[in-house]
C-alpha cells in the first residue's frame, strides 16, 4: 500500500493508470474515492477517459487547467469519429460527461460552489446544443431540429440541479446550519412564487436556525409619508401583500415541522421599510392609533421579531438589517468594513449586492462579514435599467463554530430550476 502522506504527483498518476477503476486506486491507497479525487485535484492531475464500444481506454494527463469539453473531444479521435446518438448530463459536481451511444467522454471537475455548478451546467448545455446541431444528419440541419432535444436537455438539467442542490458536497446537513433570507421587498403585484421555492428548500435543508433580515415588506405606501397623502387602502394592500407572501414562504416549512422532529428557531430583524410603519405611527398619533408593525403578523408564523437596528446574536454571529458605520446611522458600506468595525461575524441585508469578507484571529477562529444582498426576483423601478443586474440568492451558513461559518449562496434561479414549474 502506498502512503498517502508521502505520495507524489508521479506515483499518484502511476497508481491511477494501473488501476481498473477509481475505486481500485482508492483502495490501493487506503482511502475512499472522494479523498482520492481531492488528492488528484490537489496535484492538478486532470483525468480524461473514453469508453469506446465497451473498450475502456483511460488517459491521464498532468495539467493545472481543466480542459474544456471541446478540447477533451479533440484529444480522443476515436470518439470524435462516432456519430452522436444521445446525450447524458452526468452528476456535474463529480464529472462532466458527454455520452454518445456506447461512448462517453469525461473530464474531471470538482467545483466547490453552486455558482460554479451553474456555470458548468450552462457551459455544458451550450456545448451540447452545438454538438447536437453539428452532428445532425445533413437533411435535418436545414430544419430547426434542436427542439426535439430541448425537452430532454431541460429534464436532465433539472435532474442535475436537483442532485447538486441535494448534494452533501454543498450543504452538509449534519453540520450546525443557519439559512438566511435577505431583503424580499414584497409589494402588491410583484412575483412572490420564488418564496415557495425558498420555503421548500429550507424544509429540505432543515437548518437549526432561519433568519430573515427584514425589508420583507416593501411598504411603498409610506414612502415619503405626508399626512395629507396617507392612503389607508394603499397601506392595507401593502400589508396584505406581505402577509400573503409570508404565508407562501412558511407553508412548506410549517408542513415539514408538523410532520418531523425538526424545530428550527426563526428570527426576523425588522428593516427600514417595515420601520416606516413605526415612524409614521410616531409622527402622527391619529394614524398611529390604528397602524402598527404588528399588522404584518410576522409572529403568527413563529418569528421572533427584533426591532429595527437592534442586532441579535445567534451562535456567535450578529444579525441585523444593517449595521451602522457612523453615529449618524449610515449603513456600513462593505463586508470588510463590517469586520473591521464590529470585530465579530456579522450578517446584514439592506444592500442589493452581496459581498463577503473573512479575517483570521490569533486564537485560530475566523470572523466573517456577509452583506447578504437581495432575495427577490423582481426588478426595482427606482434602480433604473442599469442597476437591476445584481444576483438574487439566499444563504446557507455551514460549519458554524464559535462565530465562524462558511457562507454558501443558493441562487434563486437555481431554486427555480428545481422547484419552479
Question: Would you tell me how many other CB atoms lie within 10 Å of the CB of residue 341?
Answer: 14
Q: Which range binds Fe ion by CB under 5 A, 2-10, 146-154, 185-193, 208-216? A: 208-216
Q: Is 271 in the site for Fe ion (CB under 5 A)?
A: yes
Q: How far is the CB of 321 from Fe ion (least distance, A)?
A: 6
Contact at 8 Å (CB) between 179 and 205?
Answer: yes
Q: How far is the CB of 271 from Fe ion (least distance, A)?
A: 4
Question: Would you tell me how many other CB atoms lie within 10 Å of the CB of residue 348?
Answer: 27
Lookup result for grid cell 456506447: 102
Lookup result for grid cell 434602480: 383
Site string for Fe ion, 288-307 (x = CB under 5 A): --------------------
Return the closest-CA partner of residue 16 out of 93, 95, 52, 2: 2
Nearer to Fe ion, 276 or 350 (CB): 350
Nearer to Fe ion, 66 or 185 (CB): 185
Nearer to Fe ion, 46 or 270 (CB): 270
Contacting residue, 96, 215, 267, 274, with Fe ion by CB under 5 A: 215
Nearer to Fe ion, 58 or 312 (CB): 312
Q: Is 272 in the site for Fe ion (CB under 5 A)?
A: yes
Binding to Fe ion, residues 328-357 (CB under 5 A): 350
Q: Which range binds Fe ion by CB under 5 A, 155-163, 185-193, 265-273, 298-306? A: 265-273
Q: Encode 271-304: b = buried (16+ Cβ within 10 Å), e = exposed.
A: bbbbbbbbebbeeeeebeeebebebbebeebbbe
Return the closest-CA partner of residue 320 out of 302, 336, 344: 344
Nearer to Fe ion, 185 or 241 (CB): 185
Q: Is 324 in the site for Fe ion (CB under 5 A)?
A: no
- The DSSP secondary structure of 349-414, one letter per residue, reads --SSSEEEEEEE-TTS-EEEEEEE-B---SPPGGG-TTS----BEEEEEEEEETTEEEEEEEEHHH
Nearer to Fe ion, 272 or 278 (CB): 272
Q: How far is the CB of 351 from Fe ion (least distance, A)?
A: 8
| Interacting residues toward Fe ion by CB under 5 A | 215, 271-272, 350
Amino acid at each position: 500500500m502506498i502512503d498517502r502522506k508521502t505520495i507524489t504527483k508521479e506515483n499518484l498518476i502511476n497508481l491511477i493508470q494501473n488501476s481498473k477503476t477509481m475505486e481500485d486506486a482508492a483502495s490501493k491507497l487506503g482511502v475512499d474515492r472522494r479523498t482520492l479525487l481531492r488528492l488528484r485535484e490537489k496535484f492538478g492531475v486532470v483525468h480524461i477517459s473514453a469508453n469506446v464500444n465497451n473498450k475502456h481506454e483511460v488517459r491521464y494527463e498532468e495539467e493545472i487547467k481543466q480542459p474544456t469539453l471541446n478540447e477533451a473531444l479533440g484529444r480522443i479521435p476515436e470518439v470524435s469519429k462516432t456519430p452522436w446518438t444521445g446525450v447524458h448530463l452526468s452528476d456535474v459536481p463529480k464529472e462532466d460527461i458527454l455520452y454518445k451511444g456506447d461512448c462517453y467522454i469525461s473530464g474531471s471537475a470538482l467545483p466547490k460552489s453552486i455558482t460554479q455548478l451553474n456555470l458548468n451546467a450552462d457551459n455544458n448545455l451550450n456545448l451540447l446544443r452545438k454538438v447536437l446541431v453539428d452532428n445532425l444528419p445533413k437533411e435535418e440541419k436545414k430544419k430547426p431540429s434542436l427542439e426535439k432535444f430541448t425537452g430532454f436537455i431541460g429534464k436532465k438539467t433539472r435532474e442535475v440541479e436537483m442532485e447538486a442542490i441535494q448534494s452533501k458536497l454543498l450543504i452538509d446537513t449534519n453540520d450546525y446550519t443557519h439559512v438566511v433570507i435577505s431583503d424580499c421587498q414584497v409589494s402588491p403585484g410583484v412575483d412572490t412564487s420564488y418564496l415557495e421555492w425558498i420555503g421548500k428548500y429550507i424544509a429540505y435543508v432543515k437548518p437549526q436556525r432561519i433568519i430573515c433580515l427584514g425589508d420583507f415588506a416593501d411598504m411603498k405606501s409610506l414612502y415619503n409619508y405626508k399626512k395629507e397623502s396617507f392612503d389607508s387602502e394603499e397601506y392595507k394592500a401593502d400589508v396584505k401583500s406581505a402577509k400573503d407572501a409570508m404565508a407562501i414562504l412558511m407553508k412548506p416549512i410549517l408542513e415539514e415541522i408538523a410532520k418531523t422532529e425538526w424545530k428550527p428557531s426563526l428570527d426576523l430583524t425588522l428593516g427600514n421599510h417595515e420601520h416606516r410603519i413605526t415612524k409614521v405611527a410616531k409622527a402622527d398619533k391619529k394614524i398611529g392609533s390604528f397602524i402598527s408593525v404588528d399588522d404584518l403578523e410576522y409572529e403568527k408564523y413563529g418569528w421572533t421579531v427584533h426591532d429595527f437596528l437592534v442586532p441579535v446574536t445567534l451562535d456567535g454571529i450578529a444579525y441585523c438589517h444593517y449595521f451602522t458605520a457612523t453615529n449618524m446611522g449610515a449603513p456600513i458600506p462593505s463586508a470588510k468594513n463590517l469586520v473591521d468595525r464590529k470585530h465579530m461575524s456579522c450578517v446584514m441585508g439592506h444592500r442589493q449586492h452581496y459581498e463577503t469578507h473573512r479575517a483570521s484571529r490569533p486564537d485560530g477562529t475566523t470572523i466573517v462579514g456577509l452583506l447578504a444582498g437581495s432575495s427577490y426576483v423582481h426588478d426595482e423601478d427606482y434602480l433604473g435599467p442599469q442597476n437591476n443586474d445584481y444576483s438574487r440568492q439566499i444563504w446557507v451558513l455551514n460549519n458554524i463554530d464559535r462565530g465562524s461559518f462558511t457562507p454558501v449562496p443558493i441562487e434563486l434561479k437555481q431554486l427555480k430550476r428545481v422547484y419552479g414549474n
